[in-house]
Structures are given as C-alpha cells and as structure tokens.
Amino acid sequence: MNRIAFFFLACLFLASCNDVDRVIGRDKKKPVTYSFSCIDSAVGGSSANKRLDKVGDLIRDIGVSEKSITDDVQSEYGREFHEQMIADGSFKLMKDAALQSKLEAMLASLLAKREKPSGIVYKIYALEDTVINAFTFGGRIYVTKAMLAKCAGKDDLLAAIIGHEIGHSEMGHIKATIQEIELSNKVFGEKTGATVFELKRFLTASANQKNELEADYYGINLTNELGYDVCTAVAFWKEMASNENRYSEVEDFFRTHPFSSLRAECLMNHIRTNFNRDCGGINKAASLPQVTK
C-alpha cells in the first residue's frame, strides 16, 4: 500500500532539544490569536499558488461534501491506514512498553487541553525507523525512533511535536486531505485518482506552509497550557534553518517544507503576542534561547 503512504501529512520536527526554563501558563482571559501575515508574502503572494488554491477549493466544492468527512470517517481512515501499513510491513512498531505508556500519557494530557475537542479517536505509536520524522493521519500519530532519540529527556520538544500533529486533525487539515482522496478516487478511479492527488499535493506544497504553521500554533497553545517551554519549537526551527545541510536524511521533507527560518519567525511572533514571551532574535540561529522567568 505505498499509494496510501502519500496520503498522510508528513510533519517533521528535527530535534534541537533545548533545555530551557518552563513558562508559566498564559493569561486565560486573553484569547489566543493566529496570525499568518508572516507568511503571506511567501505563500499568498504567488499567483500560481492562488490559482492552485482556487482549483483545490472548487474541486472540494463540487466533489465530496466536507460534512461527509465526519470525525468517525476520519478515525476509520486512520484505522484502515494503520492496519494496512502494519500488515504490509511499512510500519514496524517499537516494542517498548514504558515508552508507549509515556507517549500515551503525553497524548492524553495534550488532548485534555483542547478548547473545542473533536470526536476524532487518537492513538500514538513509536515506529522503528531511522528517519527523523513525525506524522499523522486519521487520528493516528506516529513518531519515529530516530525522532524519539533526538528528544530523549526533552519533553518540551516531544510535546510540541505531538501537539503539532494533533493540530493537523483538530484544524481540519486531515479532513481536507481525505476529501481530496475521496474526490480523486471518485472522479478518476482509485488508481489514477491517487496519481492526480499526489501531483496536486506536490504542486501545492508551498501553500501547505499555512497548515504547518497553523498546526505549530495549535501545538504550542496546548503545550503552553501544560506549562511546557514554548520557546523550544522556535529554537528547533532556528537551528534547523541554520543547519539544513546536516539533515540530508529528511531531504524529501525539506523539499516541501523549505521555510524553517520563516517558520521560526512566525512562531516567535505568535509566542510574543499571545504569551508575552521573547524567545530571542531570529538571527541568533545557532544559540539556545536564554530565558528567564
């Protein structure tokens, strides 16, 4: 089932894993605001991207109703996806009961902080995989062994990663993906539809930067509620922006997510606006954020 492997949103956090002080929770009276102006020039400014966005909207409008992709449908997609990937050997689960318990506890604590929780059924798995990666589909969240090694002892980062993946589901990104899968299959037949879908995803990769950022914001909000350090993700993206050549093992990911520096800047703005916290200058890419609270 290699085809379906293209259908989940691959979302990665390489680990810079910085130990910094934890931040006290934000003022609960102040609603969190999401701003995408920091990427407007990069994402919205391209006429080609705008055309592709419009085509995507049109396809969704005439094709598969958004309402038909219920939380139950998403969860079922996740269940089928998981079973197929295990059955054909694409995914090999780590056999570590203590690790699994820790991941499940962290997932549960993050889910408990959602303001308007969906009915999506969430599960989390550790994969035997040497590629540093994390991704989600249909409520199933996967973190690779290599990613977990990067995050050893760095729960701030691990929580941000899991929170990011939760964000993709809660913000409707996976729902939109499933809509496109169903429409492609419906219009072009399952085999051809998959090809069209993959092509469109490749072409619209830059437009997905907004989704990545939205998932970042969502995850950071959850981790902030739990008292984790919110600057960890910023430090991570800063380091990645300055060291992208080191991460050749995830070249495919960076082909579709080439905006580490911009992402760090957007996150830093989000944290400053919503949590009144300064995570440090964007140009100090190689240094850890020096935080006092």
Q: Where do contacts with Zn ion occur on this chain (CB under 5 A)?
A: 11, 212, 215
Distances (CA, A) of 203 to 48, 64, 76, 278: 10, 21, 28, 35
The minimum distance between CB 177 and Zn ion, in angstroms, equals 11
Structure tokens at 231: 């600057």
The minimum distance between CB 110 and Zn ion, in angstroms, equals 15
* CB-nearer residue toward Zn ion: 143 or 215: 215
* CB-nearer residue toward Zn ion: 11 or 120: 11
Residue nearest Zn ion, CB atom distance: 11
The size of the chain, in residues, is: 293
The minimum distance between CB 142 and Zn ion, in angstroms, equals 12
* CB-nearer residue toward Zn ion: 150 or 193: 150
The minimum distance between CB 56 and Zn ion, in angstroms, equals 18
* CB-nearer residue toward Zn ion: 212 or 229: 212
The backbone region for 138, taken as left when phi is positive above 0, alpha when psi lies in -120 to 50, beta otherwise, is left
Q: Is 22 helix (H, G, I), strand (E, B) or coil?
A: coil
* CB-nearer residue toward Zn ion: 122 or 291: 122
C-alpha–C-alpha distance, residues 262 and 139, integer Å: 28
* CB-nearer residue toward Zn ion: 11 or 268: 11
The minimum distance between CB 14 and Zn ion, in angstroms, equals 13
Residue with tokens 């919503």: 274
The minimum distance between CB 212 and Zn ion, in angstroms, equals 5
